[in-house]
Structure 1
Amino acid sequence: MVHGGAVGPYRRKHLSQLEPEAREWLEKTGFTVRDEALWQAALTHGSMGEKRDYERLEFLGDRVLGLSIAQWLFDQSDAPEGKLAQRLNAIVSREMCATIARGIDLSEHIRISRQARADGGRDSDNILGDVMESLLGAQFIDNGFDEARELVQLLWRPALEGGAGESKHPKSALQEWAAGSRRKPPEYDVIDRSGPDHAARFTVRVKVHKVGEAEATAASKGEAEKAAAKAFMEKYA
């Protein structure tokens, strides 16, 4: 029997199988493991140099996550489209995915090279977020959308019920503040980028003409812009 329409290269038997500890952790967390090669790929970082890693599964899992959260928000709220989109963007963000990943101790089970690990890859928001989504992609392939959606709603429940994303995004808040104060739109510039690709750090400066500027550093350009906008608002607004 094929579960969830699983197809493609992950069925090849020559791929290595999961370590018993990884399978035990996956099943304890709520995933249902049928095709071990699929889940092995979902946990494998590109630095391992293997034919299959998590990238394609991350692409799929991102869509599974987005639809699962969008349906929950639609069913649970009468909020207008703009508010739904605001919450969705916050709840499916890379930062939130990394937070969920840390909450289930995902980092201990990522298959990553020694060098990438030494560079901080196991604690990178980018890698943790990507692997979290790849696991959702594997859950979808191996077990179908209903089970994948149930798991998303279980793991993301604190964020969903805790009101994540209900407050306005800092960049939107700054944009509106600038417009309301008759100022030019805020300008964002990346002033520094450091670290390897899998553990990069971005420093962004935001400035509003004739008002001032603020800086922040984060694991992605988007998160650095968000943090810089927040710092600006705290300083000047």
Structure 2
Amino acid sequence: MKLAADLRAFESRLGHAFHNPELLVESVTHASISSATRPDNQRLEFLGDRVLGLVMAEALLTADKAAAEGLLAPRFNAMVRKETCADVAREIGLGDVLKLGRSEMMSGGRRKEALLGDALEAVIAAVYLDGGFDAARKLITRLWKGRIASVKEDARDPKTALQEWAQARGMTPPKYNEQARSGPDHQPVFTVAVLLDNNETETASAGTKRAAEQAAARALLTRLEQDT
């Protein structure tokens, strides 16, 4: 099978020459355009998630040989969460080579966080099946290198950290309310406010509701910790 020019360029960006190019094609094929003769990437995504997890756990252990499990776990979660995978996917131009159905393409599928994150996991699985574990480890280590080196001492999810802060002070969990949604359907902007029992609040905007909640929680937690 001969790869199209855009996939050959993407293969070069990955740094892995596929012995079985069909694996690469499958990894970038979304369910919206799949058929009996054109499998989508969902099965590969399932495998890639597990390969990424194993490689990342090993990489974090190697990067900090003194870190306890209590620090390693939030770092791990920060490295493998869908938002991080989507960011890595954008850096290598994965969205440009995705094979999407017309409706998904028209709704901005090439920029959707979940879709990009899932596709990157599928690409990791394709490399694993094509070249083995060492090839997958090499790819992940290279793509995540800067993130692994700079992962924060406390990489807890901001929403989880804010909830723990509130509960430690006898408060109920923070409440998140969508304040507004703007922009076109294919590129929306969500504005979300977070509120605590003591009426402390912060507002943030992002391209997904979850990202806006995370940003609001992070902003409020940062301010509260500075005030203490």
SS of 1:206's equivalent in the other structure is strand
Residue segments in structure 2 that go unaligned for 5+ positions in a row: none
Displacement, 1:226?
Answer: 1.8
- Which residue of 85, 102, 107 maps to 1:119? 107
SS of 2:172's equivalent in the other structure is coil
Displacement, 1:211?
Answer: 1.7
1:99 has 2:84 as partner:
no
CA distance in 1, matches of 2:29, 2:58: 30
Displacement, 1:83?
Answer: 0.5
TM-score normalised to structure 1 length: 0.79
Pair 1:164–1:106, CA change in 2 (3 A): farther
CA distance in 2, matches of 1:235, 1:123: 31
Displacement, 1:193?
Answer: 8.6
1:135 has 2:123 as partner:
yes
Displacement, 1:202?
Answer: 6.5
Query: Which whole-Å deviations, capped at 9, do the CAs of 1:64-105 have from their partners, x for residues lacking one?
Result: 111101001112211000110111100111111111111111
Question: Which segment is superposed worse, 224-233 or 211-220?
Answer: 211-220
CA distance in 1, matches of 2:104, 2:204: 24
CA distance in 1, matches of 2:107, 2:132: 36
Instruction: Provide the identity percentage.
Output: 38
Equivalent positions of 1:19-98 (< 5 A) are 19-51=4-36, 52-77=39-64, 78-98=66-86
Letter in 2 for 1:30: G
CA contact under 8 A between 1:91 and 1:164: conserved in structure 2? no
CA distance in 2, matches of 1:28, 1:188: 39
CA distance in 1, matches of 2:107, 2:95: 14
Who is 1:5 aligned against? none
CA distance in 1, matches of 2:188, 2:129: 31
Equivalent positions of 1:191-210 (< 5 A) are 205-210=193-198
Pair 1:186–1:47, CA change in 2 (3 A): same
Output the aligned Cα RMSD: 2.8
Pair 1:199–1:164, CA change in 2 (3 A): farther
Displacement, 1:177?
Answer: 2.4
Query: Which whole-Å deviations, capped at 9, do the CAs of 1:165-202 have from their partners, x for residues lacking one?
Result: 74443123312321344423323466889998x98876
Residue segments in structure 1 that go unaligned for 5+ positions in a row: 1-15
Who is 1:148 aligned against? 136
Equivalent positions of 1:171-210 (< 5 A) are 171-188=159-176, 205-210=193-198
TM-score normalised to structure 2 length: 0.82
